[in-house]
A and B are shown apart, each in its own frame.
Chain A
């Protein structure tokens, strides 16, 4: 052990062994190549499960209609049938348990997302029934006159 050549060699070997030991202890066992290449598929397999388990918030209109069948039917007969319930009513998450009630966005800004007129040739936007927000009852809530579930102007009260 007094050899000045061997001593650094042993030290280096010990260091390598230490690093390999630390790696074996710290790297999860499911870490490795799970796919066709080391470049793109070198990862911890559990990460895929982690992402699959991410909670779903937006349940979709079909699940709303299971209980709220009257509202689902009324909107299905209108031009707004293409809009998902949760776009205005907010994500259902685990409704009716959590949250017990949803907060409806009745704001003018929500309607203006589509109905503020923009003169854009070649875009579907210019074909939607539109208003000039500065001219058409500025500051008023659209839902006070228009029924979002039946936006037909002829049916307006």
Chain B
């Protein structure tokens, strides 16, 4: 049998590749297999915000940034507090300087003085990730770096994220941002490292007025679940169909 150097190399390379192929490379995921891997998650984390109780002190934002090591002085934050001042002429004045990190200590809104007698209603609205049941941000991830855990929290895998920014664009609530240090997508995790140890989220713990609460929506005896079931609550941007799991008491039509 004649074997030229050229054909020997060709065949050798071919068989080397073929031999190195594990059978699992050709495996396709079947839906049944995927379902079998699913345990029965006993918890579904949800959040309740009472806008009547929020005083705009901003301790939640400060605690969040320090707890989760979000660069303190850069204009990025996982949670923030918005101020809404509605005046007699029907105007809505909104601001959130530094995300409300240093609290609201001045009545001026964007250097504009608003006389007290002109104000018809004014309130603070804390915002954070809604941990949606149908998270738009997860659907768009091209690499599977962001996902929903069994207990409903949407997380980002920092080792897997390529920083393309699709999820940041997809979130209707604007809660995602690009982490300036890790160069990946960043978002509120409900303080996953705390809630899985039986602690409260840092913002919930820091709030002196109980305006923020976290609870297990699968437990009917949880105070948060009971409040959501028995009180009049609303969610943000319901029309998007994302099924947000952050519920608000006293949400105003002016809140966007």
Contacts and interface: CB of A to CB of B under 8 A. Distances in A.
A55 B197 CA distance: 11
B57 A114 contact: yes
Contacts of B193: 51-56
Interface stretch (A31-39, A96-104, A138-146, A147-155): A31-39
Interface stretch (B47-55, B172-180, B215-223, B231-239): B47-55
Contact of B192 (A10, A24, A41, A52): A52
Given A20-B25, A39-B139, A124 B55 contact: yes
B interface, how many residues as a size bin?
Answer: 35 or more
Contacts of B150: 34-35
Interface of B: 7, 10, 14, 17-18, 20-22, 24-26, 29, 34-35, 37-38, 51-59, 62-63, 66-68, 85, 102-107, 116, 119-124, 134-135, 138-139, 144-150, 155, 157-160, 189, 192-194, 196-197, 199-200, 202, 205-206, 208-209, 211, 250
B195 to A, nearest CB: 10
B105 A121 contact: no
Given A34-B37, A43-B157, A52-B192, A122 B123 contact: yes
Contacts of A83: 59, 208
Contacts of A48: 149, 155, 192
B169 to A, nearest CB: 18
26 contacts: A1-B10, A32-B29, A32-B37, A34-B38, A35-B147, A36-B38, A39-B138, A41-B38, A44-B144, A44-B160, A47-B155, A52-B192, A53-B193, A54-B192, A56-B193, A57-B67, A58-B202, A58-B206, A60-B199, A60-B200, A119-B122, A121-B122, A122-B52, A122-B250, A125-B104, A128-B55
Contact of A118 (B122, B135, B147): B122
A124 B55 CA distance: 6
Interface of A: 1, 10, 14, 17-18, 20-21, 23-24, 31-36, 38-44, 47-48, 50-58, 60, 82-84, 86-87, 90-91, 109, 112-114, 116, 118-125, 128, 133
A125 B148 contact: no
Contacts of B35: 36
Contacts of A23: 25
B106 to A, nearest CB: 7
B209 A56 contact: no
A124 B138 contact: no
A30 B99 CA distance: 37
Contacts of A87: 59, 62-63, 206, 208
Contacts of B21: 17, 20-21
Contacts of A39: 138-139
A83 B119 CA distance: 29
A65 to B, nearest CB: 14
Contacts of B147: 34-35, 40-43, 47
Given A14-B17, A41-B147, A57-B67, 20 more contacts: A1-B7, A32-B37, A33-B29, A35-B38, A35-B147, A39-B138, A40-B138, A40-B148, A48-B155, A48-B192, A50-B159, A51-B193, A56-B199, A58-B63, A83-B208, A86-B63, A109-B105, A114-B208, A118-B104, A120-B123
Lowest 9 CB-CB distances: which A-B pairs, in order?
A113-B103, A43-B147, A120-B122, A47-B157, A119-B116, A54-B193, A20-B25, A33-B34, A116-B105
B192 A113 contact: no
A19 B149 CA distance: 29
A25 B90 CA distance: 62
B25 A21 contact: yes
Given A82-B208, A84-B206, A116-B105, A123 B148 contact: no
Nearest to A34: B37
